[in-house]
Structure 1
């Protein structure tokens, strides 16, 4: 399993390999998980920094039990852009057998919640590529794979929605801070002082002159975009899926922090309470036994985009039945956060306890403030 990551996304574990390259108009980062635990951790933590996933299936072995587990986890994490690479086809000369492998994969995709006919399957041989073979199963297969990856990314990006970018970091300009502000200082020098925020654009487009708001943690500041920098150029615009640096006018640097969002004014608001569908990981998935209760006590940290907030559970249901505890499986929860966060229905999040990811969820309804 490998991930097509957005520009600026890094691996956190030495067991995760990373390859970076550029093609016409696009900067690529490919993360390769060599250990299943790392893949599970990244999927449960949240997949918002990933543009898509490439699932590698052996043509000789076909669909294995781990393949099903990986697809289910990717679907729960909200990964929609998916490409299948069927490897080792050089060991199978019978076209009918290749077709059977493809049919088996598409059946599994349907069972895991994907539109099987819309997920591209690329047949090839990694060994032939390494040997310099340029045939349909060698170099041509890599070209087909890259085209499919590019198409999957474009289809998964929401460029026509109201602009929203999660804030990863912020700097005052002018500044002598370290990267990335230090690299951008000269580029933005001609634009004058301001507040520089960096992050990944979740949806929409941002351009100089646009009115934007910094939202989250009980604060809202409205300002104007003075400049935009992406991995490709400074001064044009940033679009969904790109990492961007945005210089703001009329926004106080001291009131900006990681976990807030930069968005079109009025398009999103901060909230402290919501209902959600949550999947609680089993011990064999998370590596620890986790039990959530609706006691109202702090259960751990909830992660929304780049925000990390303490929260507790005030309501817990499985189906239509109210329960006292949740351990392994899918539940409906009512959650109260310690700080207001920019929330909206359909937003995905993860839950961590003791430093480990233990669950993932989807906001289904925003509710009013709950009593302490």
Structure 2
């Protein structure tokens, strides 16, 4: 496969403090030769100074993590690396309980999440908390990486007990059995990370990198109905302004009108019947254009310019959608929020809501319940504090074309913004995902060797 044709996998890491996430990320970067020689030399020198006989690969990422946890840099760090097979964008999230909200940021666009557990401790509260957030965000695929297997003497029984325990948790959270893969690893020595380990002859599954290279990259958005939030309306004033290389097909270039944006879900083709929302006008797609020329089809993730057969009053923030399966248009939302701000959320708050390419005013109504991420019980809150996940009622100033987040993540997600500062206050999910799964209520297990 050529260098320019490699596909891209976006994935996130999560796990409790000291489960070895930094070492695992460092191992992936080191073994895929995605770090510079001077960085490796610096890590080797620092490891020697610490009296270590092998490089401490966590040092490749721990510097930034330490800054982030002190509030010097913002929440999620993104790592970019690649192999001859695939390119990767890794969202590295912190493990402390007080940074649980950052898992939301890292997982919101992920097609897969790698959840680490320490083989000595098994599934702990933070594991269950992160798994619940990943289920809430509808991350389609999950890897349970049981780390530090060298510290339990590669004991198959211990590792299988952890895998069985987590499988029950994942199933209760709504993950299908084939969506979860368990891989025993040692990030420190490299067992089953990039190379297969001779210490686990009983394990017949893939290495972590092998799984990341082979897992399908198309998410549920590919099979969902077509949606395109309009980012920009293109109205060239001269022939030189036309985006289409063959714009003369449309007659007078002064009549050229294209709608640019990224396909959020589904596929669009010339001839498709679409509806423009919130206005409700129906029309047909005349052409799907790019800077390199027209396309026969454009799928989720592709940035395009769409031309329509009818001249419709359409502007930034509108959504072009499949006419036979449109989103609903409403100014009242039942939503789930992950509150990200230090200042708590209370009923009556007046904020801004950003949905796709549209921003509108919103008033917060009832706070219906809050998820206790330790017990998974729902309780009635007076407010939502930082890290809280809860269901709320919202009323927007303008009607919005929305889908339930469980159906289409792109048009089912939104942000709440502080009007004076522009800071993001919450990540929101349209619909009621908190009650779509059988959330367990049980104490975490801690299997030992």
Corresponding position: 1:291 with 2:345: yes
- Aligned residue among 207, 229, 235 for 1:141: 207
Alignment of 1:345-364 (within 5 A): 345-346=404-405, 347-353=412-418, 355-358=423-426, 360-363=428-431
How far, CA to CA, are the matches of 1:205 and 1:15 in structure 2?
31
> What SS does the aligned partner of 1:54 have?
strand
How far, CA to CA, are the matches of 1:21 and 1:234 in structure 2?
30
Change (3 A) 1:50 1:208: farther
Change (3 A) 1:359 1:264: closer
* Count of equivalent residues: 332
How far, CA to CA, are the matches of 1:341 and 1:102 in structure 2?
42
How far, CA to CA, are the matches of 1:107 and 1:270 in structure 2?
35
Give the superposition deviation at 1:337.
Answer: 0.7
Any gaps of 5 or more consecutive residues in structure 2? 1-8, 13-72, 251-255, 371-379, 406-411, 433-449
Higher share in strand: 1
Alignment of 1:168-179 (within 5 A): 168-172=231-235
The CA deviation string for residues 82-110 of structure 1, in whole angstroms up to 9 with x for no partner, is 23233343444222222123223324434
How far, CA to CA, are the matches of 1:175 and 1:127 in structure 2?
61
Change (3 A) 1:64 1:330: closer
Residue 271 of structure 1 contacts residue 340 of structure 1 at CA under 8 Å; is this kept in 2?
yes
How far, CA to CA, are the matches of 1:132 and 1:35 in structure 2?
20
The CA deviation string for residues 114-166 of structure 1, in whole angstroms up to 9 with x for no partner, is 3456411223344555999733579951454225632xx44x42444431123
Instruction: Give 2:220's aligned residue.
Output: 157
Instruction: Give 2:18's aligned residue.
Output: none
Alignment of 1:1-372 (within 5 A): 3-4=10-11, 16-19=77-80, 21=82, 28-34=88-94, 40-41=101-102, 43=104, 47=108, 49-91=109-151, 92-110=153-171, 112-115=173-176, 118-127=179-188, 134-136=195-197, 141-146=207-212, 149-150=215-216, 153-154=217-218, 156-172=219-235, 185=243, 193-202=256-265, 204-216=266-278, 218=279, 220=281, 222-229=283-290, 235-240=295-300, 242-250=301-309, 255-257=314-316, 259-265=317-323, 267-268=325-326, 271-279=329-337, 281=339, 286-293=340-347, 295=348, 298-318=349-369, 325-328=382-385, 333-346=392-405, 347-353=412-418, 355-358=423-426, 360-363=428-431
TM-score scaled by length of structure 2: 0.58
Change (3 A) 1:352 1:83: farther
Give the superposition deviation at 1:312.
Answer: 0.9
Residue 75 of structure 2 contacts residue 102 of structure 2 at CA under 8 Å; is this kept in 1?
no
Change (3 A) 1:220 1:194: same
Residue 205 of structure 1 contacts residue 237 of structure 1 at CA under 8 Å; is this kept in 2?
yes
The CA deviation string for residues 22-63 of structure 1, in whole angstroms up to 9 with x for no partner, is 776x7643332357677724626982x433322233434433
> What SS does the aligned partner of 1:18 have?
strand
How far, CA to CA, are the matches of 2:342 and 2:156 in structure 1?
45
Could you say what the CA RMSD is over the residues aligned between the two structures, in angstroms? 4.5
Larger Rg: 2
Change (3 A) 1:208 1:50: farther
> What SS does the aligned partner of 2:230 have?
strand
Instruction: Give 2:62's aligned residue.
Output: none
Give the superposition deviation at 1:228.
Answer: 4.6
